[in-house]
Amino acid sequence: MSPMNHQTLVESVQELIADFMKHTATDIKLNVEGESIKVSERVKFVIIRCIQEGLTNAKRHGQSTFIKVNISFKQEELIVLIEDNGNGCDELNLGFGLRSMKDRISALAGTVNFQSKSNNGMRITCNIPMAKEV
C-alpha cells in the first residue's frame, strides 16, 4: 500500500506539486475552493494523473514558468483547472497524454476542455460529477 492512500486529495496534489517544482524549477500556485470533501480512491487517482499530465504538458510543450492549479469542490461536481503561461498554440493536437486524460475523465462521466492560443498559454478544465457514492 502506498502512503498516498492515507492522504486527502488536496494533500496528494500538494505533494505532487512540491515534487514537480523541486525537479523542474517551475512556479506552481495551488488554490482550493470550497469544502474539501473526501473523494474515492479512483477519483483521486484520476485527478492526480490529470494534474500530473497537465503540469508535464505545460513544461514540456509550453516551456511554462508559471502554472496555476485550481481545485474547486462544489456540491454537484469537482472542477480542476490548470492554467499555464507557456507558448500555447492555435492548433491543438491532443497527444497521447492529453487524450488519456480525456479518457480517464470520461470514464468518470466527466468532461475536459482544452483552451490554448499561441503565446497565451493553455487552460485545461476538468469537470467531474460528484457521484453520491454509497
pTM of the full structure: 0.91
Q: Residue 130: its pLDDT value, please?
A: 87
Sheet-wide strand order for 66-73: 27-33, 66-73, 77-84, 122-129, 111-116
Check pLDDT > 80 for residue 9.
yes
Cα-Cα end-to-end distance for the chain: 23
Q: Residue 3: its pLDDT value, please?
A: 47
CA-to-CA dists, residue 23 to 49, 63, 99, angstroms: 17, 14, 25
Domains and CATH numbers, the chain: 3-129 (3.30.565.10)
- Residues 50 and 46: their CA atoms lie apart, in Å, by 6
CB 110 within 8 A of CB 45: no
| pLDDT tens digit sequence for 47-70 | 999 999 999 999 998 999 999 999
